Amino acid sequence: MAITVHEFAHAFAADRLGDDLPRRQGRVSLFPTDHLDPVGTLMMAVTSWTGFGIGWGKPVQTNPSAFRNPRRDQGIVAVAGPLSNIAQAALFSVGIRFMYMASPDGALRGSMWLEFLYSGLIVNLALAFFNLIPIKPLDGSWIMTAVLPYPQARAYEIFMLKYGPIIFLLLIFVFRGAISMLIGPPVAIMRSLLLWGL
């Protein structure tokens, strides 16, 4: 669910900004199969056994020449994915608050629905902040390219094209603790803000 909405948000943003490629490819859709990446899905299943589940959906392709301001608009398309996950996390937090209001004290302990809602909250926050890491192929690299002055953005893009995938794979398979250090604090802060008072 989190990945489907994430990829839909990319496609929807690109479509609204004038790029019809995602629509022609059937990506402006909330059907999970339209965003399924076989390898990414397999990785989710395999890595979940290790307690560190990671996977991905099929990346949304865009045509930057269709945008009015390619650098800015590509950044907007990139940030739409993580924002969609934060919005989903907020919806899960509303569900958690509703359950607390509707249930007497102690009745929620061990509740399957509460576990589902809390998992949805954490998974979406983790996905949002993980994707904001400024390393290719993550959304954060596109956002960084959009906000840096052009000379620095160009140098950063060239560096990331050469070394980004290697750094990314090292983070995933060798330095997994670094990911927790990077995204753990913002996830904890956002979780506290969304569940303030509970």
Write out the catalytic residue numbers.
Answer: 7
Distances (CA, A) of 13 to 8, 62, 184: 8, 10, 28
Nearest-Å Rg of the Cα atoms of the chain is 18
Cα–Cα distance measured from residue 53 to residue 11, given in angstroms and rounded to the nearest whole number: 25
The number of beta carbons lying within 10 Å of the beta carbon of residue 111 is: 13
Amino acid, res. 33: T
CA distance 95 to 103: 12
What's the token pair of residue 42? 């397999």
Q: What SS3 string covers 22-91? A: HHHCCCCCCCHHHHCCHHHHHHHHHHHCCCCCCCCCCCCCCCHHHCCCHHHHHHHHHHHHHHHHHHHHHH
| 53 phi and psi angles, rounded to 5 deg | -70, 130
